[in-house]
Chain A
Amino acid sequence: MIAIIDYGAGNLNSIQKALEFVGEETVILETGKKEEIKKYDALVLPGVGAFPGAMERLKKDEFIDFIDQFVATGKPFLGICLGMQLLFEWGYEDQKTSGLGLLKGNVVKMDSHYKIPHMGWNQLEIIKDDPLFKGLPESPHFYFVHSYQLDQVTEDVLATVGYGTTVPAVVKKDNVIGFQFHPEKSGDNGIQLLKNFRELL
């Protein structure tokens, strides 16, 4: 069973439906109850909204220690879109806010001569192969909606995307994974990626 964190950041319906579509049972968590960690095979942090408000809600709903302890079990923890951005050290959306600090790097406003937000289909450049990319085309398309990004191509970055600037799109360090795009809105590629994520369980 995959647990999805609800921290008031909008619609969880799509990611829940997509995970169920690939054959996983899901449960929505409104508060972090550490005694329940053992019940879940993976944890997903989705995200629509802004960095500071999201961190505040995670703190208020007792998810910070919950996430740390979950990650320590070695089971997969996946952040999507804003959920990926929260994995890093600091966010600079509206104000400087500390993130979960699970991965190295900071989240900054995109600096591109193209329209912001970066919204639509864009093509990944895979820089480190990984079982996550099994069965996908060489440069797969995914659906993006965001205005902020990881500020550097760290050693944890597996794939990037070009948008007048280089945007880290997939990060992975041990059992901590992040997708800057929305696999739940990326058609067949998104479903394949979620199937591959499921293989990690």
Chain B
Amino acid sequence: MLKKRIIPCLDIKDGRVVKGVNFVDLIDAGDPVESAKEYNDLGADELVFLDITATKEKRKTLAQLVEKVAAQVFIPLTVGGGIRTVEDMQFILRAGADKVSVNSAAVKNPELVREGAKIFGSQCIVGAVDAAKRENGEGWEIFVHGGSKETGIDLIEWVKELEELGAGEILLTSINADGTKDGFDLEMLKAVTEAVNIPVIASGGAGNIQHFKDVFTKTGADAALAASIFHFGEIAIKDVKKELEKAEIPVRIEENK
């Protein structure tokens, strides 16, 4: 049986980790290779790198970073931020990423997802979606540009379209839950995991171990992503996995470790 995945997300700016592992024993917390190695040792199942500068000039810096990480850390790497064209995708995949995530660019140009899936395979294309509850309380709508710009597009219709276009996975961030540490947005995740047949990564709101248990028992999420709670050592990935295993949720724990 497939294991539920725990995924730390690292924010990258100018080739450095700005929200990365912040443990005292790290020589350089801003070094993406060091952070990635540390997370691999701690039991991360995958890594997501999100380039928050994401300008065209910085693309080369990002590719170099991916290349360095991919030469040292041998778990799946997803890279997102500023990927707007098939050429951008190729550049990052060639550098050693296993998947690329597209967000605003896919909303602007859905064909980007179709083209990417056709050329590189669906398993390489992650549809990243930021969504918030509608003010009238009826359903959710998606936002672009880092969650700052509303689109009027219905969340459920958009994730179904992403699946139809060939996305291999959905990375769903709840704007309402993000940063609250009050738990994942279970209602939104339940609606999305029931609407699509591709894996869904839950993002936004993780604050304690119980939140991870909830997201895997109460929704169909296949993976859970978090940033700050892992970076600052508030919660150890190992402890999350141990508790999940106790709750009979399948996770990757090697028995000799």
How many residues on B have C-beta within 8 angstroms of the other chain's C-beta atoms?
33
Chain B residues with CB under 8 A of A138: 255
Q: Are A121 and B98 in contact (CB under 8 A)?
A: no
Question: Which residue from chain B places its CB closest to the CB of A13 in the assembled complex?
Answer: B96
Q: Which chain A positions have C-beta within 8 A of B252?
A: 121, 123, 141
A191 interface hit (Cβ, 8 Å): yes
Residues of chain B with a CB closer than 8 A to A190's CB: 74
B75 and A14: CB pair below 8 A? no
A37 / chain B contacts, CB cutoff of 8 Å: none
Is residue A162 within 8 Å, beta carbon to beta carbon, of the partner chain? yes
Given A11-B93, A13-B96, A14-B98, verify A121-B74 contact (CB < 8 Å): no
Measured in the bound complex, the distance between the Cα atoms of B253 and A121 in whole Å is 10
Q: Interface stretch among B1-9, B178-186, B208-216, B226-234? A: B1-9
Interface residues of A in 116-162 (CB under 8 A from B): 117-123, 137-141, 143, 145, 162
Q: Do B222 and A13 have beta carbons less than 8 Å apart?
A: no
Cβ–Cβ < 8 Å partners of B2 in chain A: 114, 118-122, 163
Q: Which residues of B contact A141 (CB under 8 A)?
A: 3, 252, 254
Number of interface residues of A (CB under 8 A): 36
Complex Cα gap A17–B70 (Å): 7
* Least Cβ–Cβ distance between B213 and chain A, in angstroms: 19
Interface string of B91-130 (1 = CB under 8 A from A): 0011110100000000000000000000011110000000
Q: Shortest Cβ distance from B164 into chain A, in angstroms?
A: 16
B76, B121, B199, B255, most chain A CB atoms within 10 A: B76
Q: Establish whether residues B74 and A187, one from each chain, have CB atoms under 8 Å apart when the complex forms.
A: yes
CB of A21 within 8 A of CB of B255, answer no
Residues from chain B with a CB closer than 8 A to the CB of A188 are 40, 254
Cβ-defined contact, A14 with B70, below 8 A: yes
**In the bound complex, do residue B1 and residue A143 qualify as a contact, i.e. CB atoms below 8 Å apart?**
no
Flag if B96 contacts A21 (CB, 8 Å).
no
Question: Does B123 lie within 8 Å of A117, measured CB to CB?
Answer: yes
Whole-angstrom CA separation of A184 from B96 in the bound complex: 11
- The chain B residue with its CB closest to the CB of A49 is B121
A13-B94, A139-B255 as given contacts; A187 in contact with B75, CB under 8 Å = yes
A18 x B74 contact (CB < 8 A) = yes
- Which are the 7 A-B pairs with shortest beta-carbon distances? A121-B3, A120-B2, A121-B252, A17-B71, A141-B252, A137-B256, A137-B254
| A–B pairs, 7, beta carbons within 8 Å | A114-B2, A119-B2, A119-B168, A121-B5, A137-B256, A143-B76, A162-B1
A interface, CB within 8 angstroms of B? 10-11, 13-14, 17-18, 20-21, 48-49, 114-115, 117-123, 137-141, 143, 145, 162-163, 184-191
Known: A17-B96, A119-B168, A121-B3. 12 other contacts (CB 8 A): A11-B94, A13-B67, A13-B94, A14-B70, A49-B121, A117-B122, A123-B3, A137-B255, A137-B257, A141-B3, A143-B76, A188-B40
